[in-house]
Amino acid sequence: MSTASRLPGIVTTDHVFHLPLDHAVPQGERIDVYAREVVAAGREDDDLPWLLFLQGGPGGKAGRPLGRDGWLVRALDDFRVLLLDQRGTGRSTPATRQTLARRGGPQAQADYLASFRADAIVRDAELIRRLLLGEDRRWSLLGQSFGGFCALTYLSLAPEGLREVFVTGGLAGLRSSADDVYRSAYPRVRGKNEAHYARYPGDVEAVRRIAAHLADAPATLPDGALLTVEAFQALGMMLGSGTGSHVLHYLLEEAWVEGPAGPELSDTFLAEAQAKLSFAQNPLYAVLHESIYGQRSVDPAGTAWAAERVRKEFPGFDARAALASEAPVLLTGEMIYPWMFETDPALRPLAETAQLLAERTDWPDLYSPERLAANEVPVAAAVYHDDMYVDTADSLATARAVRGLQPWITNEWEHDGLRVSGGKVLDRLIGMARGKL
């Protein structure tokens, strides 16, 4: 049963759909998939076109609107918006250490989670489209980051459901292996480190001091997680957003207090580090992260902890070696490592499950280069020139491979441009897709 709520400038309606876990077995097990409909206040009864929003991730629930803000400022001029909690997230049937334990051992859990990739998300969306709009009415699609990866899968599997597509920071390499992804990612992350240290030169020593302390004596975070030097390096994930470098600097400013036995890491620093590093709220991000790149045609041996393996090709990210020299300690980025399933209490029960997914070799291909080359759906994509998370060269190659796709290459925004631009990024893409720019 749908329920409606009023917030400043908007009306929201809850929808819950009971969908197949495995779309190849429609009569088998079912899961709930939740979506929140958002419409401008006063337009609830208007016959508006629909815009499906696919969140970044994987494993992230859709944003919770507090009113007509962010990119909704622009979207609600034209659309009735559907914010999808992709399967396993938010108010959809959850997939966490608590719920997965009920499914049995690691193999049963891994088999279950194999149905949580972009292809299943797209098939969920197609069923929801037909239920909400009817068989013949198409909707528009906005995909942010991983949501853009899903948009490419949608264009490959079911373009007949799409009226137009907008992608922000999410043009994946169609035939890039997980190794390829990380081999191009580490140099981008190194560049973000260099830019941060140029902006805040004092942070070179601040990071070295914390890393040296943790190399000798890892700290315990408030939730019981272990803050090793490698876990500390993972705070570099922040460097990919528009304000992340500044947030990191402020975090480092308050790292130390004078304790009874001398300087020690402050409770403030440890609590904020936990908030940045814990996967308690989105465990699927860690468990499924490398599998979003898995395709039989490019990863026949599985993804096999690609970020960890490829890291060895970039010795500059070895914090202990940096501490033994005068080199800056480099922070890492959007990488998932097997040790995270040892240090994070939210992930620890899923370690064997994650290992089985890393070893899986039968991932179906997610994109159809042939269908994309014949694409007839208008597509406009923002490609952020300095994007830390998605390789620009991959994005531009994909833009050339999708017939009719119009790329907008910009360094005005970082990866979070959709969220922070107040609707400007979406407005430009709408204009491009409709031939007005």
Active site residues: 145, 362, 415
- Give the residue from 436, 433, 437, 428 showing the smallest Cα distance to 376: 433
CA distance 9 to 67: 6
370's CB contacts (< 8 A; 6+ apart) are: none
Quote the CA–CA distance of 162 and 178 in Å, as a whole number.
28
Q: Is the peptide bond before 338 cis (omega within 30 degrees of 0)?
A: no
| Residues 276, 307: Cα–Cα separation, whole Å | 19
| Distance in angstroms (rounded) separating the CA atoms of residues 419 and 238 | 15
Give the whole-angstrom CA distance, residue 428 versus residue 413: 13
Beta bridge partners of 10: 7, 40
d(CA 137, CA 128): 12
Q: How far is CA 39 from the centre of its chain?
A: 25
Q: Are 429 and 381 in contact (CB under 8 A)?
A: yes
**Which H or E run contains 54?**
strand 50-54
Q: Which residues contact residue 203 at a Cβ distance below 8 angstroms, ignoring those fewer than 6 apart?
A: 196, 197, 248, 249, 252
Question: How many Cβ atoms from other residues are within 10 Å of residue 256's Cβ?
Answer: 18
- CA separation for the pair 203, 209 (Å, rounded): 10
